[in-house]
Amino acid sequence: MKKKVLATILAASAILSSFAFAGCGTDANAGSSDEQVVIYSNADDEAIEAMKKTLDENGYEGQYIFQAFGTSELGGKVLAEGTDIEADVLTLSTFYLDDAQEQQNMFQPLNFDYELLNPDEKRDFCAPITSQEGTIIVNTEVMNEEGLTMPTCLKDLTNPEYKDLVSVTDIKSSSTAWLLIQALVDAYGEDGAKEVLTGIYENAGPHIETSGSAPLKKVRAGEVAVGFGLRQQAVADKAEGLPVDFVDPTEGNFSLTESIAVVDKGEDTNPLAQEMAECIITKGRAELQKNYPNAIYEGETTNEENSSAYPKTFPEPLTVDLLEKHQELSESCK
């Protein structure tokens, strides 16, 4: 009797298991809204947290996965994999998205409209999430202790008094460094930029970083006196009472935008991808502007504290080819 009951139970379990596996197969069909939206991002932690908060507060909690990458790493991955990439949504430096769209036509047109302060920067396949400017960052305590002269421009960072007291980022690892190189090339031409950058690298010595936020962290900690980094981060540190200040370089505060795009996977596209992209743009900008204050969209403003002294735009379109050209320039200066 026990054997018969046991056999019946095992048979029933087998049948239920077969239904369970069949159900899993159905739920996992590509394009099902039951699947989590995979979002690949090169954004800083603050921007990712702002986007997560926006999605969670608007009903998407638990329906997405963020995966963070370095800018160069993610940009290379996008250009290499195209629509075969695992991600449904990308937030990435706009110039990488431009190149990917031109080469592979890999993004869906956004199904929502938006208006930028600069209409010439509008694309149909992506929308900006942040705009970031570069500036000189200083630790006021170290400056006083070492008796250093406050710099006024990037060229000042080549002065001998700053030897081993400067921190900058390697352009091969982070686009933050591109803001510095754009300023140098625009102000001094390529040959002049090489001369200045060589002097900056000599003074930086062991403080040429792979992370865009590393110079700021070293300035905060007093490991160096001067760094080059994102302006809004220095403004925030100063407001919090840290011994951090900033100097807008006379060569210019150049900027980069990061944007959001939806990967076109045809019938396999997750239907929530467009919804989440729209949510981040239409409902997330107020949260994003807490850490990335530059106004981008119509109706937004940048407060006086966060308005840079010398905002500039590089005269050539920002492309991956131009980035690689400036990476070669940088390598020749080390």
Set out the domains of the chain in order of their start, with CATH numbers: 37-131+257-306 (3.40.190.10), 132-255+309-331 (3.40.190.10)
Spatial distance between the Cα atoms of 278 and 4, rounded to a whole number of angstroms: 59
The answer to which of 20-29, 78-87, 181-190 has the lowest mean pLDDT is 20-29
- End-to-end alpha carbon distance in the chain: 83
Spatial distance between the Cα atoms of 224 and 216, rounded to a whole number of angstroms: 9
Whether the predicted pLDDT of 104 surpasses 70 = yes
CB-based burial label for 147 (10 Å; 0-12, 13-18, 19+): exposed
Spatial distance between the Cα atoms of 170 and 199, rounded to a whole number of angstroms: 14
- Name the average pLDDT for the chain: 90
Q: Quick one: pLDDT band at residue 165, thresholds 50, 70, 90?
A: very high
pLDDT at res. 32: 43
Backbone angles phi, psi at 329, to 5 degrees: -60, -45
Q: What letter represents residue 157's amino acid?
A: L
Q: What percent of the chain has pLDDT over 70?
A: 90
Residue in the structure block whose two tokens are 């018969």: 4
Q: Region 144-154: what's the mean pLDDT?
A: 97
pLDDT at res. 9: 36
Both tokens assigned to 95? 């110039």
| Dihedral sign for Cα atoms in the order 101, 126, 326, 188 | positive
Contacts of 141 by beta carbon, 8 Å cutoff, 6+ apart: 222, 243
- The strand pairing partners of 256, in sequence order, are 132
pLDDT at res. 19: 35
pLDDT at res. 174: 86
pLDDT at res. 12: 40
Q: Region 26-30: what's the mean pLDDT?
A: 34
Q: Please give the distance of CA 205 from its chain centroid, rounded to a whole number.
A: 26
Both tokens assigned to 281? 């743009």
SS3 content of the chain, % helix, strand, coil (to 5): 50, 20, 30
Q: Region 260-279: what's the mean pLDDT?
A: 96
In 3D space, the residue among 180, 221, 219 whose CA is nearest the CA of residue 200 turns out to be: 180
Length of the chain: 334
pLDDT at res. 34: 65
DSSP string spanning 272-299?
A: HHHHHHHHHHHHHHHHHTTT-----BTT
Q: Which letter, b or e, does each residue of 59-79 get, where b requires 16 or more Cβ atoms within 10 Å of its Cβ?
A: ebeebbebeebebbebbebbb
8-state DSSP, 267: G
In 3D space, the residue among 97, 100, 105, 103 whose CA is nearest the CA of residue 128 turns out to be: 97
- The strand pairing partners of 71, in sequence order, are none
Both tokens assigned to 250? 């006379």
222 and 180 Cβ atoms separated by less than 8 Å: no
